[in-house]
Structure 1
Amino acid sequence: MKNILSALMLVVTGFSTSAVAQLSARCSLDDQLTTTTSAQGRNAWSRKCGYISASREAFLNSENEYQVYTNACASYPTVQPGSTCAQYVPDNEAAACIAGLVKLGSCVTGCFTPTQRVDFAGRQLPVPEAYANGMKEVTALTPAAQPGLLSFANQTIRAYVAGDTQEDIFLLKTREGRSLEVTAEHPMLLNDGTMVKARTLKAGDTLMGADGKALTLSEVTVFNFKGQVWNVRPQSTDKAENVMSAEGFLTGSVRFQNEWAADDYRLSLRDEFEVGGL
């Protein structure tokens, strides 16, 4: 008898299981900073108060990441059910220092500009319009999806993410006539199934289209944007079920930018294994 096993390549290093759970909570539940201003404000505060060095601050800013802490968050005391956050931590340099915090790790900022359309249960809508219309599901890959044989299903939306920002936006244009505007850290799926940050892309790179076609980038340009950026966080924590369709591209949800930012992800071809003797 033969079984078909679908493999997603994932590498997580440097964190215990409990630390990963806490980092996930900070990045996606109670300490989600959606703008560059807030993220850099947190890093500046952390450096001022002696939690990180100036070089660490510069590195986090260059990666669009921000420092987070165990059991402390920006949303305290108004936290969601399930949060372990027990005290407030600022996101601006001018705030007074707080002693005794324990560093946990870092989270990532990044989203779509408000005009970019995402597939919400079969409807192509800009994210803010989907939010205004009360859309409760977003279309994403299924765990069985693989390059050359994509399959989709609707996923329950846990939260919409929005924030005001002023930062560089990457405009991705393909030879096939498609285009997408995203922030620097936004996760994009290459045609080989590897998830990468938008800022690493260049003309000639090949992305995977939502229709399974290879999309060759003809141009990658950067422009400064001031306004609101948006993203979606599905309820599911399966990585394939967090790969969504946006303007005909396959792209990752906000989970790839935060709790999975340190992971390597690849949508892999199915491997066939002989398991008859098991």
Structure 2
Amino acid sequence: MNKIQILGAVAVVAGVSLVSTEAEAQPILLQRCSADNLSPAEALARIEWARKCALTQRVGSPGAGFDTGIPAANGGNLIDYVEADSAANPNGQNAFSGPSYGFEVNYANVNTAFLSGSTSQGVDSDGYQKWTRPATRARARPLYPTFGTTANLADANNFQLIPSSTSCQVLNGGAPAATFYVNGYCEASCYSGDQKVLFEGGEQPILEALNSRREDLVTLSSESTLDNVRLAKNKTYGYTVETRDTAHELIAISTAAGGTLNVTDEHPVINGEGRMVQAKTLKPGDELVRADGSRDPIVGIERVKHFGKVYNIRPVTEDLVSNVLVAQGFLVGSSRFQNDDVGYINRVILYSDVPHIP
């Protein structure tokens, strides 16, 4: 299988571990484009569109698949299809799946729609083998591909392209684009670039950390409680950044001790009860929790306009408590709580020494 191994429920892509806390993982730059914003249902439709187009336009025949040698949960081995030659076409010109997935169509499809888990396969309506995972492993916010005219997002000549709703064409201003590339996979973001996140040695603006691909993230230790907040070394799994500048409305929070926190309205924040809440639900009088565990009452909340990109970050660890970061001195949730674990919003994440019911 092209640079990919599936070991039980653990997926390893191009040698980068998605779950292990011990892995020497390089940060993965996850993409989101607000200007190409889709609902979860629309995102799934985009994912399925990309798979169908890759198979029918690039692969061409159900018999062109290869045996991965990996057992399917429902018997036999998983079969996948490669739509682009990574040696001859490393950037994936006119491919519908990105190079981060090795241009392997079923692998891209199942991992953008589902979290890791047991993988089954069946035959789709066009005769191709298709992978799937249990509904309980479906992503709350699927990762859908977004397209551009060049492979490099930083290229001034990279213009956004939008897939056709009726064909396998990718459109540039309504006309079919002769050349297109997958520029990334859309995912939710949270911070403006000047907001500081805690790394080893101190805080750093998240945009600077992203540009230097800092891995030495500091989060709460998994044993922390609301009455015993402890910090621990962690590693960065990925940064999230929008592909293009977009208009946003941020929640600007000020506290009694003089602290400030500017985040998007759905950003997950720990309140004084140890509960993970969305920033838009906070009000004056509510408390934020500082990195030392002290409570800091909110004295002001404003909605401010921001034009540009917003960012987020996620550690390699998977337990809930170690996915709590320190931003601007306050305890906030990583991007995991906006994507994989949205169900934990409004639940108690940090219990007091005497547990209480969420």
Structure-2-length-normalised TM-score: 0.53
Closer, same or farther: CA 157–186 of 1 in aligned 2, 3 Å? same
Taking the aligned partners of 2:293 and 2:344, their CA distance within structure 1 comes to: 24
How far off is 1:208 after superposition?
A: 1.1
1:37 deviates by 2.2
Q: Indicate whether 1:68 and 2:44 are aligned.
A: yes
2:164 to 96, 101, 125: 96
Offset at residue 69 of structure 1 (A): 5.4
1:187–1:195 contact (8 Å) kept in structure 2: yes
Conserved? CA contact 1:234–1:253, under 8 Å: yes
Cα deviation for residue 159 of structure 1 reads 1.1
SS for the counterpart of 1:215 is strand
2:36 is matched with which residue: 13, 32, 38? 38
Contact 2:216 2:236 in 1 (8 A): yes
Which of 110, 117, 137 is the equivalent residue of 2:216?
A: 137
Conserved 8 A contact 1:208-1:250: yes
Greater RCO structure (CA 8 Å; 6+ sep): 1
Q: Distance in 1 between matches of 2:165 and 2:276?
A: 37
Distance 2:100 2:211 in 1: 23
Q: Alpha-carbon deviation of 1:131?
A: 2.4
Whole-angstrom distance in 2 between the partners of 1:194 and 1:110: 21
Q: For 2:28 and 2:44, locate their aligned partners in 1 and report how far apart those are by CA, in whole Å.
A: 11
Matched with 2:225 is: 146
Structure 1: distance between partners of 2:33 and 2:284: 27
Task: Go from structure 1 to structure 2 and tell me whether the alpha carbon gap of 1:135 and 1:236 turns closer, same or farther (over 3 Å shift).
Answer: same
Counterpart check, 1:79 vs 2:77: no
SS at match of 1:79: helix
CA distance in 1, matches of 2:201, 2:319: 20
Q: Distance in 1 between matches of 2:108 and 2:46?
A: 8
Give the deviation of 1:94 after TM superposition: 5.3
Check 1:154–1:98 CA distance in 2 against 1; reply closer, same or farther (3 A cut).
Answer: farther
* CA radius of gyration, larger in: 2
Partner AA of 1:206 in structure 2:
E
CA distance in 2 between counterparts of 1:268 and 1:84 reads 38
1:181, CA displacement in angstroms?
0.8
Which residue number in structure 1 is paired with residue 238 of structure 2? 159
Pair 1:132–1:200, CA change in 2 (3 A): same
Q: Which amino acid aligns with 1:36?
A: S
Contact 1:122-1:139 at 8 Å conserved across structures: no
Selected match of 1:220 from 290, 295, 301: 301
Instruction: Confirm or deny: 8 A CA contact 1:109 1:185 kept in the other structure.
Output: no
Aligned partner of 2:352 among 263, 269, 272: 269
Opposite residue 215 of structure 1, the aligned amino acid is D
Between the aligned partners of 1:259 and 1:189, the Cα distance in structure 2 is: 17
